[in-house]
Chain A
Amino acid sequence: MSNQQVEAAPTQPKVENPRVKAAKDFYRRLKKNVPALIGFYTILILVIFSIIGPWMLSTDPSDTDVINKFAGPSAEHWFGTDHLGRDIFTRIIHGMKLTLGIGFASVFMGAAMGIPIGIIAGYYGGKIDAVIMRFIDILLAFPGILLALAIVSILGGSLVNVTIAVAIYAIPGFARIIRGSTLAAKNLEYVDAIKALGAGDGRIIFKHILPNVLSPVIVNATLYIATAILTAAGLSFLGMGAQPPQPEWGAMLNDGRSYMRDAGHIAFFPGMAIVIVVLAFNIFGDGLRDALDPKMKK
C-alpha cells in the first residue's frame, strides 16, 4: 500500500543516492533468496575447486590403469575408470576448468561484442538500428546449436573454436536485451535533461545509460553461461570440440557412449557434472533476476 503524501514533508533527514539504494535493495533481496545463494556458493566452490583441485589430486587425467579398464566406482577410483583405464574422477576435476573456462570466456566475448552493438542500435536508432537489427535477425534465424555448428564447420573443431562459436551465438541475445534497455533508458527524462545541458553522446552512454542497462546484462550473462556450457559440451560430444585426450566433459560422454551396455558409469558421471554446473548457473541466474526485478517474483 502506498502512502499518499498530502504535502511534501521530508521524513528522512538524509537522502540516499538512488543507485546505492537500489544496490542495497538488490543485495537484501538476493540474501533472502535461498536457491540463489545455493547457486552462488555452488559456483564459487566449483570455481575454487577447478583451480586448486588438480593440485590436490595425486593422479593425472591421462594416467592409464590398464588392468582396471571399465572399473566401476570404488574406493580407489571414486567414479570408476574409462575404456583406457583412466580415473574418471580425476578427469572430471581436471575438466572443470575447461567447462567453466568455455562458459565464462564465451559469454564474456559475446557480451563484449553484443553490448556495444545493442547500445549503438538503441541509442542512435534510425537506419543504423534497422541495419543492425536485420543482421541480428539473420543470426537469430539459426536456432540453438545450429549457429555454433555452422561456425565450427567453418573454423574447424577445437576448444578455442567452440568458444568463439558459442560467443558469436551469444551476441544476438545480448544485443537485443541491451538495445531494449537502452531505448528505455534513452527516453528517461533525466537523459533529456542531461542532453539539454550539453553532455556528449559518449558521456551520456557511459555515465548514464550503461549503468542502467547493466542489470539485465548480468542476469542474461549468468543464464547464458548455462546455455554456453551445454552448447559447448554438445559440440564436443559430437566430436567437434575438445580433442582427445582433453578431459572435456562432453568429449568424455562421447567416449562413454560406446560402452553404455557394460560400463554406464563412464557416461553417467561427466553428465552429472554438467548437470550440476548448469543447474548452479540456472538457479543463480533465476535468483538474480528475481532480486533485480521484484515484480517478477510472484
Chain B
Amino acid sequence: MTVYIIRRVLQLIPVLLGVSILVFSLMHLTPGNPAQLMAGESAPPDTIEQIEESLGLNDPLPVQYWDYISGVVQGDLGTSMRYNTPVADEVWPKFKVTLELSIYSTILSIFMGLLAGIISAVRQYSISDITIMIIALFGLSMPNFWLGLMLIQWFAVNLGWFPPTGWEGPSSIVLPVISLGTAGAAIIARMTRSSMLDVISQDYIRTARAKGVKKRVIIYKHALKNALIPVVTVAGLQFGALLAGAVLTESVFAINGMGRLLVDSIIQRDFPVVQACILIIAVVFVVVNLIVDISYKFLNKRIDLND
C-alpha cells in the first residue's frame, strides 16, 4: 500500500507540471501584448514598458516560467494588476469561502445521493424509484445558476426564509449549497442505484441469502459496501465539478469567493489573479482525486496494488 501511495504521488508530478505550464501560458497564448491588454488600449508606452518590466515579459519564456514556478512553490502567486497587491493575499481568504461552499455541497450531494440511490435500487420500479429517478434527471439537467435564482425567488424573496445573498451565518449557506449540490446529488443517486442493482445480482449476494442472512443486512452489509466503491470515484469527481461550479453559484448569490474573483479578474484581464485561481482549483482537484484513488484501492481489495 505504501509503495502504491508513493508511486501515485510521484505520478502526480508530471500532471502538476503540465497544469502549471498551461496556466503559465494563459497570459502568453492571449492574442496581443499582455501588458497592453492589462494597461488598456490608450495606455502610454511608458506604462506598458513598466508593466513588461515588472512582469519580466522581456525575458525568454523558459526563464519567465522558472521565475513563475519558483515563486508559486514559495507561495508567491504574483502581483495583482488591478490592486497592485500580492495575489496570495487576495486569493486565500476567498479560497476559504469557496472551499467551504464546495465541501458543504459535496456533503449534501453524497448524503442525498446515497439515500435516494439506495431507496431507488431497493425498491426498483416502484413509485418511489420512478419519482426519485425523474427528480434526479431534472436535477442533472438544471443549470445550477438558474436553480439558484429560482431558490432566491421562492425562499428568499417570496417566503423570506433565507437571505437572498451573502455567505454569513448558517441561514445564508442553505440556498447556495442546495443550488450547487443538487446536480451532484442527482449524479450520485443515479450512480448508486445502478451500482447497487449491479451488486445485488452478484453471486456473493446469493451466497449470503443461502446462509440465511436477513434482507436488510444483505443490503446494508453485503451490497452497500461493494456498491460504494464506484460511487467513491464519482463523488471525488463531483467535488472538482462543484469547486468549478462554485464560480456560477457565487455569482448568483453574490458570495465573495474565489469563483467570483476569477470571473471578475477574467473580465478585468488581471492575469496573475486568473492564473492563481485556476491553478489553485486544479491543484486541489488533482490532490482530491489522488486521495479518492487511494481510498478506492483501499476499499477495493480485489485490485492488484501493483497496477
Interface residues of A (CB under 8 A from B): 134-135, 137-138, 141-146, 149-150, 152-156, 226, 230, 233-234, 237-240, 250, 253, 256-257, 260-261, 264, 267-268, 270-271, 274-275, 278-279, 282-283, 286, 296, 298
Q: Are B245 and A138 in contact (CB under 8 A)?
A: no
- Tell me the count of chain B residues lying within 8 A, CB to CB, of chain A: 50
Q: Is the interface of A mostly helix, strand, loop or mixed?
A: helix
Q: Are B141 and A279 in contact (CB under 8 A)?
A: yes
- B218 sits at the interface (CB 8 A): no
Closest B residue to A239 using CB positions: B267
Q: Are B247 and A149 in contact (CB under 8 A)?
A: yes
Cα A270 to Cα B194 in complex, Å, equals 32
Known: A141-B285, A144-B244. A268 touches B150 (CB 8 A): yes
Closest B residue to A229 using CB positions: B143
* A256 CB, min distance to chain B CBs, angstroms: 7
**Contact flags B224-263 to A (C-beta < 8 A → 1, else 0):** 0000000000000100111111011001100000000011
Q: A233 contacts which chain B residues (CB < 8 A)?
A: 143
* B15 CB, min distance to chain A CBs, angstroms: 5
Q: B286 contacts which chain A residues (CB < 8 A)?
A: 141
Closest A residue to B248 using CB positions: A234
Q: B213 contacts which chain A residues (CB < 8 A)?
A: none
> What 3 A-B pairs have minimum CB-CB distances, sorted nearest first?
A143-B240, A271-B146, A144-B244
Known: A144-B245, A282-B140. 20 other contacts (CB 8 A): A142-B281, A143-B241, A143-B243, A143-B285, A144-B242, A145-B247, A149-B263, A150-B278, A152-B266, A153-B274, A237-B143, A260-B149, A260-B152, A261-B157, A264-B157, A268-B153, A278-B141, A279-B138, A283-B137, A298-B194
Q: B197 contacts which chain A residues (CB < 8 A)?
A: 298
Q: Are B241 and A271 in contact (CB under 8 A)?
A: no
- B305 sits at the interface (CB 8 A): no
Closest B residue to A296 using CB positions: B194
Cα A226 to Cα B140 in complex, Å, equals 9
Q: B241 contacts which chain A residues (CB < 8 A)?
A: 143-144
Q: Are A137 and B141 in contact (CB under 8 A)?
A: no
- How many pairs, one residue from A and one from B, have CB atoms within 8 Å of each other in the complex? 142
Q: A260 contacts which chain B residues (CB < 8 A)?
A: 149, 152-153, 157, 164
* A46 CB, min distance to chain B CBs, angstroms: 14
Cα A279 to Cα B20 in complex, Å, equals 36
**Contact flags B274-307 to A (C-beta < 8 A → 1, else 0):** 1000100110011000000000000000000000
A/B interface sample: 6 pairs, CB < 8 A: A144-B245, A152-B266, A238-B247, A238-B263, A268-B150, A282-B140
Closest A residue to B28 using CB positions: A154
Q: Which of A141, A253, A267 contacts B19 (CB 8 A)?
A: A141
Interface residues of B (CB under 8 A from A): 14-15, 18-19, 22-23, 26, 29-31, 124, 137-138, 140-143, 145-146, 149-150, 152-153, 157, 164, 194, 197-198, 201, 237, 240-245, 247-248, 251-252, 262-263, 266-267, 274, 278, 281-282, 285-286
Q: B267 contacts which chain A residues (CB < 8 A)?
A: 239-240
Q: Are B247 and A153 in contact (CB under 8 A)?
A: no
Known: A143-B243, A146-B278, A240-B266. A226 touches B141 (CB 8 A): yes
Q: Are B152 and A274 in contact (CB under 8 A)?
A: no
Q: Which of A238, A282, A298 contacts B137 (CB 8 A)?
A: A282
Q: Are B142 and A253 in contact (CB under 8 A)?
A: no
Closest B residue to A237 using CB positions: B145
Cα A137 to Cα B247 in complex, Å, equals 22
Q: B23 contacts which chain A residues (CB < 8 A)?
A: 150
Closest B residue to A153 using CB positions: B266
Q: B29 contacts which chain A residues (CB < 8 A)?
A: 154
* A147 CB, min distance to chain B CBs, angstroms: 8
Q: A282 contacts which chain B residues (CB < 8 A)?
A: 137, 140-141
Q: Which of A238, A239, A275 contacts B146 (CB 8 A)?
A: A275
Cα A149 to Cα B267 in complex, Å, equals 11
Q: Are B240 and A275 in contact (CB under 8 A)?
A: no
Residue among B140, B197, B198, B252 with the highest chain A CB neighbour number at 10 A: B140
Cα A234 to Cα B263 in complex, Å, equals 12
Q: Are A230 and B124 in contact (CB under 8 A)?
A: no
Known: A141-B15, A145-B248, A150-B278. A234 touches B22 (CB 8 A): no
Known: A143-B285, A154-B30. A253 touches B145 (CB 8 A): yes
Cα A285 to Cα B200 in complex, Å, equals 25
Closest A residue to B251 using CB positions: A238
Q: A283 contacts which chain B residues (CB < 8 A)?
A: 137
Closest B residue to A139 using CB positions: B22
